[in-house]
Structure 1
Amino acid sequence: MALDQDFKLAMRRLAATVNIITIRDGDRPMGMAATAVSSLAADPPSLLVCVNQTASMHNLLIEAEAFCINILHQDQHDVATVFSDTKMRDARFATGQWEHREDAPPYLLDAQAVLLCERRQLITFATHTICIGAVREIRLRDDIDPLLYVDGRFARAG
């Protein structure tokens, strides 16, 4: 098998937490599902998200001063489904309990964790842009049961 095919098969075995990345485009909330999210450093608290340059939200994300990473809880499967389906784009923020503030991107009130970030750096690599954000605010849910994605489907930890 070719290296690119083997790579795709290997990545299907890499379980990842399901996240919703949100921004504010003027008064309009925008969001997308993503699994390519990772912590970067604890000092300063920072994260990175990798976004395909063909994603409809790509250009808006790299121009936004702030973005939010909503780490989904197991009971937010419906939110992940809506944000993963381009045909359901208009229903995205009608699904789940969203907080809309003027000074920040929208965030899920009952997400596993919410990390509001200030965009700090962009790095282009091949077909993706790596967006690095400094964490400015964190909200945590007490019960821990993240929604995972592995082998092309949603899964549960443990």
Structure 2
Amino acid sequence: MIEASDFRDAMSLLTTAVNVVTTKGSAGAHGFTASAVCSVSDTPPTLLVCMNQTSRSHAHFTDNKTLCVNVLGVQHESLSNTFASKLGSEERFEQGSWTALVTGAPVLEDALVSFDCEIEDIQQVGTHSVFMCRVVAIQQSQQDESLIYFNRAYHQVAQIAEVESA
């Protein structure tokens, strides 16, 4: 049997994008930092997002049935830490500039890309809920440096411009 701590140690070596996932509804705006986000299909455009069922904002996501995946750039390390902290929802959204697209979920204006989604299905797997999310709108920025998480630390990935030879 694989111990949970061994699994977490192994998963820390899986490089992932850093995202702030948000929702908004009658109870206000809520969000959390997530690395467990991936593409499922492009027809229809669908993402998978995993969230711990013990998260204090879990019920807001399941009730609202909407979310926005905001993919963070290198300038957002502090924002990532804020949304992973014990701060309340109002305090979290004081950092960054926020707007909305189709669903009303908060969209980080300068995110690398934001995927505005409707949650179509929720599966319980162990300690987490797996949200199957239909993408209904996308907003991209001109940012080209991504914040990633590897071996329990932030790193950055940037596009390298091609240099023309003389």
TM-score (norm 1): 0.91
Instruction: Return 5+ residue gaps in structure 1 as ranges.
Output: none
**Equivalent position SS for 2:93:** helix
- Give CA deviations for 1:98-154 in whole Å, capped at 9, x if unaligned: 115795111101001000001111111111110011000000112321111112121
Following superposition, which runs of at least 4 residues in structure 1 exceed 3 angstroms of deviation? 87-90, 100-103
Identify if the C-alpha distance between structure 1 residues 129 and 122 changes in structure 2 by more than 3 Å, giving closer, same or farther: same
Higher gyration radius (CA) = 2
Pairs aligned (count): 158
Structure-2 residue corresponding to 1:153: 153
Aligned letter for 2:33?
A: A
Structure 1 counterpart of 2:70, one-letter code = N
Deviation at 1:65, TM superposition (A): 2.4
- Residue 2 of structure 1: CA displacement? 5.2
Unpaired runs of 5+ in structure 2? 159-166
Q: Deviations over 1:54-108 (max 9, x none)?
A: 1111111112121111000111112111111113644211101111579511110
SS in 1 for 2:145: coil
State the Cα RMSD in Å. 1.9
Contact 2:103 2:118 in 1 (8 A): no
Check conservation: 1:36, 1:49, Cα contact below 8 A.
yes
d(CA) in 2 for partners of 1:118 and 1:13? Answer: 30
Normalized per residue, which structure has more helix?
Answer: 1
Which TM-score applies when normalising by structure 2?
0.87
After TM superposition, the structure 1 stretch with the greater mean CA deviation from structure 2, 59-68 or 102-111, is 102-111
